[in-house]
């Protein structure tokens, strides 16, 4: 889906629209009418008409239709001898005369089927010399539109004084594109749409991967760089003619969009302000430059800066973090006032309290953020760490080293403190970063981003961290799989699911957390009670909260189990049950075992033994965090060994499944994916590796010369990867 283009907000005020349908839209490759596209176009026009738009059509195609028919007629009338002779090209005007009636009959029929009346208006260039004509034409069109009739214009090719429809480019208008532009000005249209066989104007041939569609044409920028496509297969025009006509009309104040006539909803999308096709607007050069390009460029710039960041010494990277921490504290008042403005706006807009609470930078928050940044700065440098050293052969040493992933995209909702945490993590781990925050926190995010990037030294570049402040949709960002290495969503399950479903970029996160606690018959039931209550009640909305309580069947109807269930109920938990527990305990049946309540509710079910608990978890769980409560070592080890989840716990609350509690320092997220990182993820989730091989001129030569030793070397000894300062001092 294309996103809304903020520059096209004016579309909502459009009432009168001229639609020019190109020959390539109307005809098929074999020269016959493209009835599917024409039919769909009529349906679209009908819908616009019903919605109150005043629609005027300019149609091409008559010459093509006529040529097709005349060829057939000529063939029928030819003798075999005639066919041996060289065939003259058919007269263009004759073709137009024949084709015009067929084309109009078709439109009439189709519109009639849709309860719409249409009308034919054939004009010639010389008509427009007469100012009376122009006046009368406007009156006629106004009358037709008043009656909700669709005026369909075409050049009266058959009787025009033009030499041949294809060749003569003189006059007030010179093809249907320029006729459409002229009519747009004469009839004071609010919008002109030129339907073509391509999606719009490209910066190069549309077939080349480097060509990008230009969504907003700016003459000063695009006129030189554009390689216009070939002319349409049939008909005059082509892209050059379209750009010329569009520039003329838009210069006269009529916005023009060139878009595909192959998409049966393209005009509707244009009118909804979607960023499709190419818009020509007289103010376009005053607008901000196209956002598409800039997000891509932001990612490329972030990677360039990140390479410079990696090239700093560990001390220099550390110093940036200290500078960021200082800058945050120094600008606390400014940050606070911007945050208060966001809060006030959110309250005014009637956002729910929980959102406003997440949005708020509470007193002391800046100080605590600064403190955690300093802690991060003092952590061991995560990059350029040698993870493995091998002597491959005599004098040939291989090192596996940690290195930054590249460019990260963080999509976060509400919490402006997430921006600070993630930005510090990115700096510490040498990564470039694009941040896309929620609208509700825009002012907070903008000031925080500014404060942080101001603290980044010039030899790295502040573009290391880009804040995507435009109204670009997440969907656009998620397409940039060529320049973004990892997406980390920080927000609701819904956000994560949507992002996972709509990108080819790897996503680090979890869409759901259906966590289980299994109470074995051997369990210490006091311990079980403590764990179950904590797992459900400590923070019911957390992804690591218990959703399903599995209980060994022997515990059914024991006072100890009843005590646990009562405690849950007393704490306000709504208990649902699986089919077996329903019969024993009588709680309402749960809709599904896959359910994540994320609230004070849970499902209880009985299982036969630990194996059946494991099977249940594999079948219904989300492989997040699952716990066994038991005093039986065999049961514990079976559970720990077999449960195939990111985190598997023995006699401990599922709520411990968390980066901070795991001691990972800053938490990047919790991953239920199996690739790259799993479970609570610390800074190592932002790292990849590089292989460094140091030799003395060794060559492979069919593996005949080298005696491979493959000896593991200690990590400490030998030449380490030097930082830039040490390199300078070599």
Out of 453, 499, 679, 683, name the contact with its own copies by CB under 8 A.
679
The answer to the question of residue 32 lying near its own copies (CB under 8 A) is yes
Query: Considering only residues 510-529, where is the footprint of its own copies by CB under 8 A?
Result: 524, 527
CB contact at 8 A, 620 and 645: no
Q: Counting contacts by CB under 8 A, is residue 715 touching its own copies?
A: no
- Out of 252, 572, 695, 718, name the contact with its own copies by CB under 8 A: 695
Nearest approach, Cβ of residue 667 and its own copies (Å): 13
Give the integer Cα–Cα distance in Å for 459 and 640.
50
Cβ neighbours of residue 127 closer than 8 Å, sequence gap 6 or more? 133, 137
CB 381, min distance to its own copies, A:
13
Can you tell me which of 113, 130, 227, 357 binds its own copies, judged by CB under 8 A? 113
Cβ-based neighbour number of residue 569 at 10 Å: 12
* Interface with its own copies, residue 260, by CB under 8 A: no
Q: Which stretch binds its own copies (CB under 8 A): 10-18, 104-112, 183-191, 598-606?
A: 104-112
Residues 441-500 within binding reach of its own copies (CB under 8 A): 485-486
The residue within the footprint of its own copies, chosen from 5, 444, 680, 683 (CB under 8 A), is 680
Q: Length of the chain, please? A: 730
Measured over the CA atoms of residue 189, residue 194, residue 199 and residue 205, the dihedral's sign is negative
Distance, in Å, from the CA atom of 392 to the CA atom of 403, rounded to the nearest integer, reads: 22
DSSP class of 276: -
- How far apart are alpha carbons 516 and 25 in whole angstroms? 58
708 part of the interface to its own copies, by CB under 8 A: yes
Minimum CB distance to its own copies smaller for 139 or for 705: 705
Cα angle for residues 261, 262, 266 (degrees, 5° grid): 60
> Least distance in Å: CB of 182 to its own copies?
29
Applying CB under 8 A, the site for its own copies has a residue count of 107
Report strand pairing: 515-519 vs 625-629.
parallel
By the 8 A CB rule, do 669 and 685 touch?
Answer: yes
**Minimum gap (Å) between residue 698 Cβ and its own copies:** 5
Instruction: Report how far apart the first and last C-alpha atoms of the chain are (Å, whole number).
Output: 55
Find the largest Cα–Cα distance for the chain.
107
Please report where in the chains the tokens 């009376």 appear, as a residue. 132
Of residues 392-451, which lie at the interface with its own copies (CB under 8 A)?
392, 396, 398, 403, 405-406
- Comparison of 214 and 234: residue with beta carbon closer to its own copies: 234
Q: Measured from the CB atom, is 22 or 679 closer to its own copies? A: 679
Residue appearing with tokens 């024993």: 584
Q: Which of 81, 352, 696, 716 binds its own copies (CB under 8 A)?
A: 696
DSSP-derived secondary structure letter, 459: T
The answer to whether residue 106 forms part of the interface with its own copies (CB under 8 A) is yes
Between CA 598 and CA 489, with CA 618 as vertex, the angle to 5 degrees is 45
Q: Does the protein bind its own copies through residue 721 (CB under 8 A)?
A: yes
Question: Which ranges in 571-607 belong to alpha helices (H)?
Answer: 579-585
Contacts of 415 (CB under 8 A, 6+ apart): 358, 359, 441, 490
Residues in 596-625 that interact with its own copies by CB under 8 A: 618
| The one among 42, 409, 423, 564 contacting its own copies by CB under 8 A | 42
Distance CA 520, CA 609 (A): 7
Contacting range for its own copies; rule: CB under 8 A; set: 179-187, 192-200, 225-233, 717-725? 717-725
For its own copies, which is the closer residue by CB, 216 or 671? Answer: 671
Stretch that binds its own copies, among 151-159, 245-253, 322-330, 692-700 (CB under 8 A): 692-700
Asked if residue 485 lies in contact with residue 456, where contact means CB atoms within 8 angstroms, the answer is: no
Interface mask (CB under 8 A) for its own copies, residues 629-668, using x and -? Answer: x---xx-xxx-xxx-xxxxxxxxxx-xxx---xxx-----
Write down the least CB distance from residue 261 to its own copies, Å: 12
Tell the smallest beta-carbon distance from residue 530 to its own copies (Å): 5
Chain positions 290 to 309 lying near its own copies, rule: CB under 8 A, are: 307
- The answer to the question of residue 504 lying near its own copies (CB under 8 A) is yes
């Amino acid at each position: 889906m294309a996103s809304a283009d903020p520059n096209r907000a004016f579309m909502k005020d459009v009432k009168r629209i001229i639609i020019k349908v190109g020959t390539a839209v109307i005809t098929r490759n074999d020269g016959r009418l493209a009835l599917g596209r024409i039919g769909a176009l009529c349906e679209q026009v009908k819908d616009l008409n019903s919605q109150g738009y005043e629609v005027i059509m300019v149609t091409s195609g008559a010459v093509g239709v006529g040529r097709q028919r005349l060829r057939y007629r000529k063939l029928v009338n030819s003798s075999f001898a005639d066919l041996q002779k060289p065939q003259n090209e058919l007269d263009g005007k004759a073709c137009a005369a024949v084709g015009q009636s067929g084309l109009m009959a078709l439109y009439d029929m189709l519109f009639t089927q849709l309860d719409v009346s249409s009308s034919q208006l054939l004009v010639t260039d010389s008509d427009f010399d007469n100012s009376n004509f122009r006046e009368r034409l406007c009156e006629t069109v106004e009358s037709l539109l008043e009656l909700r009739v669709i005026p369909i214009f075409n050049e009266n090719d058959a009787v025009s004084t033009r030499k041949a429809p294809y060749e003569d480019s003189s006059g007030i208008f010179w093809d249907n594109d320029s006729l459409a532009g002229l009519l747009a000005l004469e009839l004071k249209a609010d919008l002109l749409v030129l339907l073509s066989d391509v999606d719009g104007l490209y910066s190069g041939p549309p077939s080349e991967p480097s060509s990008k569609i230009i969504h907003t044409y700016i003459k000063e920028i695009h006129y030189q760089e554009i390689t216009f496509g070939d002319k349409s297969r049939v008909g005059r025009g082509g892209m050059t003619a379209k750009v010329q006509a569009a520039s003329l009309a838009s210069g006269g104040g009529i916005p023009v969009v060139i878009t595909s006539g192959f998409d049966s909803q393209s005009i509707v999308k244009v009118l909804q302000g979607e960023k499709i096709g190419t818009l020509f607007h007289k103010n376009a050069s005053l607008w901000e430059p196209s956002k598409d390009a800039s997000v891509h460029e932001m990612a490329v710039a972030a990677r360039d800066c990140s390479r410079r960041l990696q090239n700093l010494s560990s001390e220099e990277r550390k110093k940036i973090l200290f500078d960021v921490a200082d800058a945050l504290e120094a600008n606390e008042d400014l940050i606070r006032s911007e945050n208060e403005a966001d809060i006030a706006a959110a309250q005014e807009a009637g956002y729910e309290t929980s959102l406003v609470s997440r949005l708020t930078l509470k007193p002391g928050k800046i100080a605590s953020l600064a403190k955690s940044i300093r802690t991060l700065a003092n952590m061991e440098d995560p990059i350029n760490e040698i993870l493995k050293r091998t002597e491959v052969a005599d004098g040939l040493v291989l090192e596996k080293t940690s290195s930054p992933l590249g460019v990260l995209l963080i999509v976060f909702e509400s919490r402006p403190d997430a921006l600070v945490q993630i930005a510090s993590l990115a700096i510490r781990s040498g990564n470039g970063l694009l941040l896309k925050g929620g609208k509700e926190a825009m002012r907070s995010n903008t000031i925080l981003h500014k404060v942080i990037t101001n603290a980044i030294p010039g030899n790295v570049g502040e573009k290391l961290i880009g804040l995507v402040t435009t109204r670009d949709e997440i969907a656009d960002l998620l397409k940039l799989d060529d320049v973004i290495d990892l997406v980390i969503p920080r927000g609701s399950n819904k956000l994560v699911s949507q992002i996972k479903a709509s990108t080819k970029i790897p996503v680090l996160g979890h869409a759901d957390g259906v966590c289980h606690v299994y109470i074995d018959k051997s369990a210490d039931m006091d311990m079980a009670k403590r764990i179950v209550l904590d797992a459900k009640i400590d923070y019911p909305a957390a992804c690591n909260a218990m959703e399903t309580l599995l209980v060994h069947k022997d515990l059914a109807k024991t006072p100890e189990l009843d005590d646990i269930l009562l405690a849950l109920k007393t704490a306000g938990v709504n208990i649902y049950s699986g089919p077996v527990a329903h019969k024993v305990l009588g709680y309402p049946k749960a809709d599904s075992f896959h359910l994540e309540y994320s609230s004070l509710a849970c499902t209880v079910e009985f299982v036969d033994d630990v194996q059946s608990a494991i099977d249940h978890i594999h079948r219904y769980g989300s492989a997040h965090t699952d716990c066994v409560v038991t005093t039986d070592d065999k049961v514990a080890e079976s559970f720990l060994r077999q449960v195939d989840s990111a985190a598997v716990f023995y006699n401990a609350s599922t709520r411990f499944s968390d980066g901070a509690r795991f001691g990972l320092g800053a938490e990047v997220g919790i991953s239920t994916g199996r690739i790259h990182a799993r479970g609570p993820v610390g800074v190592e989730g932002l790292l990849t590796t590089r292989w460094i091989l140091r030799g003395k001129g060794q060559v492979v030569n069919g593996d005949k010369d080298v005696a491979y030793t493959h000896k593991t070397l200690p990590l400490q000894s030998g030449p380490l990867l030097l930082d830039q300062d040490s390199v300078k001092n070599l």
